[in-house]
Structure formats: C-alpha cells, structure tokens
C-alpha cells in the first residue's frame, strides 16, 4: 500500500497536481459537495485499498452484524437486559410500536479505525439511526475518477469503485415493500430541519430517487400535517419517510404528540430508520456486546468478531468488571488509566461531549468522570489511529502531509457492506460535523 501511495504521489507533477486540484474544485462546486459552507474534500488523492482488504473487512463485518441482531432481539424481548442500553422513558414508549419491517436499521454505518497491513480494527461507533455521507461519497467518487491523476494511475492499475448510495436506497425500498406488502411506488419525503449542513446531500438523494421514477420532496418535519389518516408533506400525502432528522432532536423539539410521530405510530407512513433503531444506536450497545457478563448470548464466531472489532467498552457506573482477565473496580481504575481511555456520551453525535484522556490533565479527567457518572456515558479503550500522507494544492504548489483517517463502511439490511466512507483529519477527533477534516472516496486498485 505504501508503494501504491508513493506511485500516486509521483504522478503529481506540478502540472497534473494543479489540473487535478482545478478539476476537483469544479466538481465540488458543480455537484454542491459542500458541508456547512466548507468544501467536502480538500485533498488530491482518494483513499486507495485492495480487493483483499475489502474482502477481509466484509468477512469480519458479517458475524459482527449477526451479534448486533442477536443483541437487538434479546433487548426487545427482555426489559431487564434492555436496561443496559440506558434508554430514556420516551424512547421506551416508542419501542412499543414495531416499524413494520424486521430489522430496525435497514441502512447503517460502522465507524472503525482500521490499520492496513496489521488488519487491526477498532469500532468506535455504530451509527444505526441516520448515517450520512453515502450520496456525498458516490459524488466524490465520480469527481475523482475523471481527474488527471487518477486517469494516469489507471494506465498501470485497474480501478474499481465501491458505490454506497444504491445500497442505502435499496435498503430503504426493501423496508417499504416489507412495510406495505406491495410493490407500489411510494411518494418519499426526506425530513430534516431546514438549516442542517447536510442539505446538499438530500438534493443528491432526491435526484437519485427521481431517476428511479419516485416522487421525492425535502421538507422540515415542523411543516408536516397528520390528517385524514395521511401524513401530508409539501401539499400531498407521503408514503415513506427517509428520516435524516435525529429522533432525539425531533422529540425534544416537537414532542411525542407531533404529527410525524403520531403518523408513524399509527402505521400511516413508513419511517426508515424506525424508532427502534435507538437501541443499537446508543453507544452503550458497544458496551453490551463487549461486557463479559453478556458473553453467553453469542456464538463462538460472533464472540470472535466482537473481540476482533470492538475495543474494551463499559457503561460508566460504580461496579466491578474485568479487563484483560483481571477484576477491576471500574471508576478508580478509570482515574488511573486516563492516557488509555475515552469518555463518550451515550447518545450524541458530531464529536460532542467526547473526552480523549490523553489530551487532558488529571484534574480535567476527574471532572469528566464525575460528569459521566451523573448521566449515561461509556468509557472505551483507546484504539490505534492510522495515518497516511495526503497531497493538497495551495499557494501554487503541492503539499503532502500525514492525516489520520477512519474507515466507516455502510451496512445494508444489517448484513453486508456497501461502500466505505473515509474521513481525514489532523486532529485525533475525526468528525467532519465537529468542524474540521475532509472526506475522500475509496477506490479499489490492483495491478493490470
């Protein structure tokens, strides 16, 4: 892989680098690939991987997702087990209504740190509710494929893509067919607040749905009306909601009696992903899978996948637990192991509320632990964060610098990988929503 990256960088003569930069900038502008007013991508190289690495990642994801499914089914059936996830009262209320399809997260995303070569994996989050980035990812792929640098690379290497958007759309439509029991074409509503930074991605989804012959509108849930047994969105009834608004924000802003919530609970409209996705979307789900107290729930291959993919994770509370085979008193142990641990709120996004132990003082870490004991939090073992050199063009010349990167595969039907989101950053917290970093497409290459 290092040789391949070096080969790509050798292709970036000043002329090719400048042309590639201009092509990417034009593509970003033309396709609206802007996130919160910032260009989605600021570098000149895509993520490069091999067919073997893709197959290895897929092979490890499938048993991990089987373990997720087993965890979800057990949580639905057993309230005492479900208590481990830290659900709020209103979330428990919404669990009473099945979504109308079997798996609560038809489209989801696993956020890993993956170290090429060693194959080391660290799952830091399971985005089971509203995984963003698939449409952006495919648009970036199209933009990069026609750059002068990638065209030069294709002289010596076969280049394959990993489309993400078709998997998301296929999962949404499969959920609709299961929900409705028909093959009818639904009218689709993409719902989120008017001012979210991902608005441009909604436009890409609408374009794709429209090409499939599906009428699609984008609207704010506050303008929807539930009347006559139908949810009215933009002047007409909607059959299917591709929900991008977070459930917690919807309930906190609009309440349990909001028209969208009542329509979903009455099965007047199909919601993807449905309310029950909150179980696994909670970061405590990783603690549930990781905790030795729950090991008896899983098959041997599922346990192997859990140990292989999920770093040691626990819900923060006063308790005895195990670490590397030894019994520990969790809270005092956390205080002593600051440089190796991360604290995360149970249900936040965009990097909010996360404390990286190795970046703070002992006093700041003690305060973070106190906060974590007062509200639902998890503590997780620090994972290895890989880095690669990425080139950019500024001030009329090429710059190459190391950037940390994650590996975030989209998962369809709770089963298999379709596409990979890759985010870059020079800071340890890799999150575009948090205000920095860049997104790049992933290309699979092999010698001709």
Mean pLDDT of 340-366: 92
Mean pLDDT of 126-147: 96
Mean pLDDT of 116-134: 90
pLDDT of 433 above 70: no
Is residue 397 very low, low, confident or very high in pLDDT (cuts 50, 70, 90)?
A: very high
pLDDT of 350 above 80: no
Q: Which residue has the higher pLDDT, 434 or 180?
A: 180
Distance of CA 11 to the CA centre of its chain: 32
pLDDT of 8 above 90: yes
What pLDDT is recorded for position 262? 98
What are the structural domains of the chain? 2-281+386-447 (no CATH), 312-381 (3.30.1490)
What pLDDT is recorded for position 432? 43
- Give pLDDT tens digits for 33-71: 887 778 999 999 999 999 999 999 999 999 999 999 999
Task: In whole angstroms, give the CA distance from residue 431 to residue 227.
Answer: 40
Q: How many CA atoms lie within 13 A of 47 on its CB side?
A: 30
pLDDT-above-70 percentage for the chain: 98
Mean pLDDT of 107-123: 90
**Edge-first strand listing for the sheet containing 188-191:** 216-219, 188-191, 240-243, 270-272
- Give pLDDT tens digits for 137-161: 999 999 999 999 999 999 999 999 9
pLDDT of 374 above 50: yes
Give how far Cα 429 sits from Cα of 43, 98, 126, 355, 435, Å: 18, 35, 16, 10, 10
Task: In whole angstroms, give the CA distance from residue 381 to residue 75.
Answer: 25
What pLDDT is recorded for position 116? 78
Task: In whole angstroms, give the CA distance from residue 168 to residue 242.
Answer: 10
Place of tokens 């290309």: 443
Instruction: Calculate the average pLDDT of the chain.
Output: 94
Least confident window among 40-49, 109-118, 308-317? 109-118
What pLDDT is recorded for position 430? 52
Mean pLDDT of 225-229: 97
Task: In whole angstroms, give the CA distance from residue 101 to residue 173.
Answer: 11
Query: DSSP state, 266?
Result: T
Pairing outcome for strands 230-233 and 236-238:
antiparallel
pLDDT of 133 above 70: yes
Is residue 249 very low, low, confident or very high in pLDDT (cuts 50, 70, 90)?
A: very high
Mean pLDDT of 6-32: 95
What pLDDT is recorded for position 324? 92
| pTM (global) more than 0.75 | yes
Q: How many CA atoms lie within 13 A of 267 on its CB side?
A: 11
What pLDDT is recorded for position 117? 72
What pLDDT is recorded for position 128? 96
């Amino acid at each position: 892989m290092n040789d391949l990256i070096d080969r790509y960088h050798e292709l970036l003569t000043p002329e090719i680098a400048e042309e590639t930069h201009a092509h990417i900038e034009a593509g970003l502008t033309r396709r609206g690939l802007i996130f919160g007013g910032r260009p989605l991508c600021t570098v000149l190289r895509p993520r490069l991987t091999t067919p073997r690495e893709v197959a290895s990642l897929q092979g490890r994801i499938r048993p991990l997702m089987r373990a997720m499914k087993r965890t979800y089914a057990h949580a639905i059936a057993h309230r005492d087990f479900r208590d481990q996830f830290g659900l709020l009262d209103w979330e428990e209320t919404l669990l009473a209504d099945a979504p109308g399809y079997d798996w609560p997260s038809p489209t989801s995303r696993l956020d890993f740190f993956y170290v090429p070569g060693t194959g080391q994996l660290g799952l830091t989050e399971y985005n089971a509710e509203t995984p963003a980035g698939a449409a952006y990812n495919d648009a970036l792929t199209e933009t990069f494929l026609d750059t002068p640098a990638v065209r030069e690379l294709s002289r010596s290497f076969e280049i394959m893509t990993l489309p993400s958007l078709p998997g998301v759309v296929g999962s949404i439509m499969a959920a609709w067919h299961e929900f409705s029991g028909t093959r009818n074409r639904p009218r689709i509503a993409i719902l989120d607040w008017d001012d979210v930074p991902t608005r441009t991605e909604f436009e890409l989804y609408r374009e794709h749905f429209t090409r499939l012959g599906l009428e699609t509108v984008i609207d704010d849930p506050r303008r929807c009306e539930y009347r006559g047994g139908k949810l009215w969105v933009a002047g007409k009834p909607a059959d299917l909601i591709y929900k991008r608004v977070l459930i917690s924000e919807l309930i906190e802003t609009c309440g349990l009696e909001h028209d969208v919530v009542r329509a979903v609970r009455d099965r007047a409209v199909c919601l993807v992903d449905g309310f029950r996705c909150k179980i696994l979307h909670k970061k405590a789900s990783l603690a549930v899978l990781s905790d030795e107290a729950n090991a008896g729930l899983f098959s041997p291959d599922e346990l192997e996948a859990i140990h292989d993919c999920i770093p040691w994770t626990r819900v923060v509370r006063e308790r005895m637990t195990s670490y590397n085979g030894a019994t520990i008193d969790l809270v005092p142990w956390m205080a002593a192991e600051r440089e190796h641990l991360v604290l995360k709120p149970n249900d936040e996004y965009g990097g909010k509320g996360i404390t990286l132990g190795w970046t703070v003082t002992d006093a700041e870490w003690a305060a973070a632990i106190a906060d974590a004991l007062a509200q639902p939090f998890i503590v997780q073992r620090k994972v290895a964060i890989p880095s690669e050199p990425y080139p950019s063009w500024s001030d009329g010349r090429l710059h190459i610098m190391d950037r940390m990167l994650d590996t975030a595969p989209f998962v369809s039907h709770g089963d298999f990988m379709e596409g990979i989101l890759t985010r870059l950053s020079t800071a340890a917290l890799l999150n575009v929503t948090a205000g920095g970093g860049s997104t790049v497409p992933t290309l699979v290459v092999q010698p001709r």
